[in-house]
Amino acid sequence: MDSEQHGRYMRRCLVLAEEARQAGNIPVGALIVQNNRIIKYWM
């Protein structure tokens, strides 16, 4: 994974965390990436 892809995934985690915060939850976002595809995410 190159740094550009890594940055994209990190930004997606931040978006998920913001969605969780807005829903009144603890602001955490997480992804599982396999073969450069997001296969699972949590917020």
Task: Check the CA dihedral 11-13-14-19 and report its sign.
Answer: positive
Q: How many residues does the chain have?
A: 43
Q: Give the residue numbers spanning the domain of 15.
A: 3-42
Query: What Rg value do the Cα atoms of the chain yield, rounded?
Result: 11
CA–CA dist 30, 40 (Å, integer): 8
| The predicted structure's pLDDT at residue 19 | 96
In the chain, how many domains are there? 1
| The predicted structure's pLDDT at residue 1 | 80
pLDDT per residue of the chain (43 residues) written in tens, 0 to 9: 899 999 999 999 999 999 999 999 999 999 999 999 999 999 8
CA–CA dist 11, 24 (Å, integer): 20
| The predicted structure's pLDDT at residue 6 | 93
| The predicted structure's pLDDT at residue 43 | 86
